[in-house]
């Protein structure tokens, strides 16, 4: 019997016992939200996901144990952040941290140097599975992971990571003199929108045929998190301003009923509404934990309440959010609800909402149908949310 099947059998037995004990609630109506027993259960689940990530070879050429076509810089970056969280929270041996550092070495070393529109040295990463495309949304999430992992490095390794992060920041803000893939799409003066109604938003690089210059919600959210993390390790005020402006654009774009629209190159899309929530949750929480800005934090709490109410209303019968593949990317909704409960108002409907969601993932059959330890993206996202449930802020900083 393989590890996953053995774990599934054990979890099935545990779930049966758990379900039979009415008093064994995961989420309590208290300021702590999770009691000691629930934290222990979540820590065991996080450890299982970390063990599965260790089988994928995130520092190697091709990811193993995931379906073809699911490999990307963002997926590997999420896995690295899960591993460093697992290292901190499970008190397992140092293998998790070692693997995350191996990934960071490989990722930093694969950065492509480029001359920016201002003549300085920038850097970005090519996804060989998407030739011709420069997907800043995907790259930004991986760069966030490099910023998270670098706090465990020292000496020349730390310097290498920091230089790669600064080169990438210049690429995003200053663009490039020429098309990175030499496809005739022209250079860019940078993707951060600095004026007008969309000030603070960030465009998404290059698609297959053209330079993108209009707002992308997920790109903006991922770079709010990236610049917040970069500020936390460098104290570069420009990074803090970029992160704060990106967050304000996200909050401003929220619709009156609470949902956050998914703009792709300036056009609103009906697809991936829950993935958008998960991305925006990362951006908002990173800013909240890292920017040291009390005024902005108050704004995040105030504006975030409307989205929280929308999520409470829109939870589906299964206990998740969204439909189809988008449902598998809805774990960020749980992170946003938990953050709001702990930092804003102790709304007693929130523990009930969280209970419904995590009952899906504590059942091995439902967990696999959600994509955990089956598909790459939801596995990493769920791992990150579990870590945030155990120790808020751990996926963004060393605590």
The larger pLDDT score, comparing residue 29 to residue 22, is at 29
Domains within the chain, CATH numbers bracketed: 33-390 (1.50.10.10)
Lowest mean pLDDT among 7-16, 70-79, 164-173: 7-16
Q: What is the pLDDT of residue 7?
A: 46
**Structure tokens that stand for 16 in this block:** 């049966």
CB atoms near residue 40 (< 10 Å): 12
Residue 134 has pLDDT above 60, yes or no: yes
Element housing 76 (H / E): helix 73-90
Rounded distance between C-alpha atoms, residue 169 and residue 182, angstroms: 21
3-state helix, strand, coil in the chain (%, to 5): 60, 5, 35
pLDDT, the chain, mean:
91
Rounded distance between C-alpha atoms, residue 384 and residue 386, angstroms: 5
Whole-Å CA distances, 329 to 207, 263, 272: 23, 17, 8
In this structure, the strands spanning 205-206 and 134-135 are: antiparallel
Q: What is the pLDDT of residue 128?
A: 75
Rounded distance between C-alpha atoms, residue 279 and residue 3, angstroms: 31
DSSP per-residue string spanning 128-159:
TTSTT-EEHHHHHHHHHHHHHHGGG--HHHHH
Across 367-389, average pLDDT: 96
Rounded distance between C-alpha atoms, residue 143 and residue 171, angstroms: 12
Across 26-47, average pLDDT: 82
Nearest to 278 by CA among 134, 148, 378: 378
Task: Classify residue 332 by burial, with Cβ atoms within 10 Å: 0-12, 13-18, 19+.
Answer: buried
CB-CB contact of 304 with 257 (8 Å): no
Per DSSP, the three-state class of 5 is helix
Across 213-233, average pLDDT: 98
**Structure tokens that stand for 369 in this block:** 């149908």
The larger pLDDT score, comparing residue 198 to residue 8, is at 198
The larger pLDDT score, comparing residue 16 to residue 236, is at 236
Q: What is the pLDDT of residue 2?
A: 46
Across 134-142, average pLDDT: 98
CA geometry: angle at 256 spanning 252 and 257, to 5°? 130
Residue 86 has pLDDT above 60, yes or no: yes
Residue 119 has pLDDT above 50, yes or no: yes
Rounded distance between C-alpha atoms, residue 375 and residue 327, angstroms: 13
Q: What percent of the chain has a predicted confidence (pLDDT) above 90? A: 84
Residue 221 has pLDDT above 90, yes or no: yes
**Structure tokens that stand for 35 in this block:** 């009691």
Q: Count of residues for the chain? A: 399
Residue 15 has pLDDT above 70, yes or no: no
**Structure tokens that stand for 150 in this block:** 């670098």
CB atoms near residue 271 (< 10 Å): 10
Q: What is the pTM of this model?
A: 0.93
What pLDDT digit, counting tens, does each position of 235-273 carry? 999 999 999 999 999 999 999 999 999 999 999 999 999
DSSP per-residue string spanning 33-67:
SB-HHHHHHHHHHHHHHHHHHHTT-TTSSS-SSS-
Rounded distance between C-alpha atoms, residue 70 and residue 60, angstroms: 15
What pLDDT digit, counting tens, does each position of 291-301 carry? 999 999 999 99
pLDDT level of residue 31 (50, 70, 90 thresholds)? low
DSSP per-residue string spanning 174-233:
H-BSS-TT-SS---BS-SB--SSTTTT-B--EE-SSSB--S--HHHHHHHHHHHHHHHHH
Q: What is the pLDDT of residue 8?
A: 45
For 285, half-sphere exposure in the C-beta direction (CA atoms, 13 angstrom radius) is 29
CB-CB contact of 115 with 48 (8 Å): no
**Structure tokens that stand for 384 in this block:** 């990150």
Across 345-349, average pLDDT: 77
What pLDDT digit, counting tens, does each position of 151-178 carry? 999 999 999 999 999 999 999 999 999 9
Q: What is the pLDDT of residue 9?
A: 44
**Structure tokens that stand for 387 in this block:** 């870590």
């Amino acid at each position: 019997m393989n590890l996953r099947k053995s774990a599934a059998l054990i979890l099935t037995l545990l779930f049966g016992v758990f379900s039979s004990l009415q008093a064994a609630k995961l989420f309590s109506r208290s300021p702590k939200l999770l009691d000691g027993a629930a934290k222990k259960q979540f820590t065991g689940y996080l450890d299982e996901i970390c063990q599965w990530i260790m089988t994928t070879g995130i520092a190697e050429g091709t990811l193993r144990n995931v379906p073809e076509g699911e490999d990307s810089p963002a997926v590997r970056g999420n896995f690295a952040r899960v591993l460093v969280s697992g290292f901190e929270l499970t008190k397992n041996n140092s293998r998790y941290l070692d693997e995350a550092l191996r990934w960071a070495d490989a990722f930093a070393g694969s950065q492509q140097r480029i001359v920016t529109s201002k003549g300085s040295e920038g850097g970005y990463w090519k996804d060989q599975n998407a030739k011709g495309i420069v997907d800043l949304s995907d790259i930004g999430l991986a760069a966030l992971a490099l910023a998270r992992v670098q706090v465990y490095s020292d000496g020349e390794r730390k310097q290498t990571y920091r230089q790669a992060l600064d080169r990438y920041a210049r690429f995003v803000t200053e663009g490039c003199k020429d098309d990175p893939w030499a496809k005739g799409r022209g250079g860019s003066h940078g993707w951060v929108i600095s004026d007008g109604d969309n000030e603070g938003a960030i465009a998404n690089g290059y698609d297959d045929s053209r330079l993108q210059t209009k707002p992308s919600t997920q790109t903006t959210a991922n770079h709010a998190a990236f610049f917040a993390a970069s500020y936390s390790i460098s104290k570069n005020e420009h990074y803090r301003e970029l992160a704060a402006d990106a967050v304000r654009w996200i909050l401003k774009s929220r619709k009156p009923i609470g949902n956050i629209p998914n703009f792709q190159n300036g056009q609103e899309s009906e697809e991936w509404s829950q993935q958008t929530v998960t991305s925006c949750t990362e951006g908002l929480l990173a800013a909240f934990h890292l920017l040291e800005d009390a005024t902005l934090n108050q704004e995040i709490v105030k504006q975030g309440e409307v989205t929280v109410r929308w999520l409470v209303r829109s939870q589906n019968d299964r206990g998740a959010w969204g439909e189809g593949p988008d449902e598998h990317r809805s774990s960020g909704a749980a992170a946003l609800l938990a953050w709001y409960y702990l930092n804003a108002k102790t709304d007693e409907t929130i523990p009930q909402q969280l209970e419904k969601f995590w009952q899906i993932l504590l059942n091995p059959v439902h967990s696999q149908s959600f994509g955990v330890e089956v598909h790459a993206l939801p596995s990493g996202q769920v791992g990150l949310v579990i870590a945030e449930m155990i120790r808020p802020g751990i996926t963004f900083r060393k605590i």
